[in-house]
Amino acid sequence: MLDDPPARLIEDEVRKARGAGQTSAFAEKVAENALGIARRERELGPILAAEERARLGELLGGEDDLPTLNWALATALREGTLDLHDDAVTDHLIRTAIAKLQVDQPTYPGFRALCD
Amino acid sequence: MADTASPPPPAALGSAGVAPVDGLALLQAARDSGMAALAVENLARLGGGASKDMWRFDLVLERGERRALVLRRQPPGRPRSTQGLPSVAAEAALVRLADAAGVPVPQVAFELPESSPAGDGYAMEQVAGETVGSRVLRLPELAAARAGLARTCGEVLARLHGVKGHEALGLRSQGPVEALDALEARHRQTGQDRPVFEYALRWLRSAMPNEATRVLLHGDFRTGNLVVGPKGLVAVLDWELAHVGPPEYDLAWLCVPSWRFQRPDLPVGGFGAREDLLAGYEAAGGTPVDPGALHWWEVFQTMNWGVMCAGAAKAFMDGARSVEGAVIARRASETEFDLMRMLAADHPAWETVHAG
């Protein structure tokens, strides 16, 4: 599940900052970076969420929505009802971590190193 | 902090959102500390974080002598964060202790007295060098400095960790159990469901290291807080998170993947190898470090940075909105990625990166 703040709030904040006459080169670089996250979230978010939802449905069972299933996974890991060494759990966590980074920071050097 | 490679922004005296420094109060504090100061000139803001700001100024002394100084302070009336030292001025006492132990620091010039109109803080000498992490790792003129930096960091941390007489500072003390409880509590306070953090917490609980010793820690020893010049490490900055705990806390924080910038292949701050860090540490008198304990603390510290990012998300959603806050919030995912790399590097699911 993608983290807060969602694309809409990121875009609002950039609009406000630019409207307030923010001009420094550093601030503009950060704004571009933020808009990139929002853009990728709009492009990739729905398909990645559907894939995550499908994996969780298989892992935990049930027809709940993604936030509910994600909560159930976090709770099961916290309470120890899922095994840390369960291959399917680890598989899901890795796939989800990769999916999130594709939206948030596809240029993260540790991620790029793995892709090459 | 002085950054010769990128000049600081022009003076922002009295500009929106920044409380100006009372120059006369600053001058008075210099005189009260015994300096024959005649004037404060060229006072200009250097930037700073959410709670503290930094100002450079020239202190004009008798016979036309001038000293280039930097004021690190919290504006008057601003509440202190609960994590660190009791006051910014108290940081000066710590920096003097570190200085006496041979840790490179900006020398303290004078402290602001309690309830000074100039705020809570202290003045230090200006140091020349680079702090911005990505530039420390990239600038060609720092290549020689980078080559020896991991070993130097080990030596410097050993000297710091050997400091005696810090008890009077009243710093908080935390072993691995208390530190992990505090980390989990901070994660719970974000209210976010994060399966990877739960996975990491379970792993951390199942692999607790033995606690051998507690020492004086810098608390934020990483690329970005290290001033580096062509000859090597010039100074260690930002002592506000200093506390007492296991030596691996500092050693592992420097190895968190997020400060490796464009060099993920160099685990120590993006500039060196763990072997060099630990060799320097032991050569300078540091207690030999168990690699398993170091790994435990690297996992801990990676999640620690992740919880800080998650905290930025909560702050944003609670109404403290900024573009920078949003970007930091969305860096929590890099720590989830790194945690899974650390805890399940051999899993076949990583192959999907190539397939995708």
> Tokens 């190539």 belong to which residue?
B354
- pLDDT given for residue B10 in this prediction: 33
Residues B201-253 pLDDT 10s: 999 999 999 988 999 999 999 998 999 999 999 999 999 899 999 999 999 99
Q: Which of residues 81-110 of A touch B (CB under 8 A)?
A: 84, 87, 89-98, 100-105, 108-110
Q: A94 and B193 in contact by Cβ < 8 A?
A: no
- Contact B302/B255 with Cβ under 8 angstroms? no
Q: Which of residues 22-81 of A touch B (CB under 8 A)?
A: 24, 27, 30-31, 33-34, 37, 67, 70-71, 73-75, 77-78, 80
Which position has the higher pLDDT, B1 or B319?
B319
∠ CA B230-B235-B238, rounded to 5°: 135
Residues B138-166 pLDDT 10s: 999 999 999 999 999 999 999 999 999 88
Which position has the higher pLDDT, B79 or B56?
B56
- What is chain B's mean pLDDT, rounded? 90
Residue B307 has pLDDT above 60, yes or no: yes
Question: What percent of chain B has pLDDT above 90?
Answer: 77
Question: What percent of chain B has pLDDT above 70?
Answer: 91
Q: B330 and A3 in contact by Cβ < 8 A?
A: yes
- Contact B150/B233 with Cβ under 8 angstroms? no
- pLDDT given for residue B75 in this prediction: 80
Residues B54-66 pLDDT 10s: 899 999 999 889 9
Closest CA to B179 of B288, B299, B328: B299
Mutate to test the interface with B, among A4, A24, A87 (most CBs of B within 10 A): A4
- Using CA coordinates, name the residue in chain A closest to B134: A109
Distance CA B79, CA B87 (A): 10
Distance CA B240, CA B165 (A): 18
Residues A59-77 pLDDT 10s: 999 889 999 999 999 999 9
Residue B13 has pLDDT above 50, yes or no: no
- pLDDT given for residue B17 in this prediction: 55
Q: B326 and A93 in contact by Cβ < 8 A?
A: no
Q: How confident is the model at residue B3 (pLDDT cuts 50, 70, 90)?
A: very low
Closest CA to B305 of B254, B242, B355: B254
Closest CA to B247 of B301, B303, B205, B197: B301
- pLDDT given for residue B12 in this prediction: 32
Can you tell me the ipTM of this complex?
0.97
Set out the domains of chain B in order of their start, with CATH numbers: 23-125 (3.30.200.20), 133-348 (3.90.1200.10)
Question: Residue ranges per domain, chain A?
Answer: 7-115
∠ CA B5-B10-B51, rounded to 5°: 90
- Contact B235/B143 with Cβ under 8 angstroms? no
Distance CA B336, CA B338 (A): 5
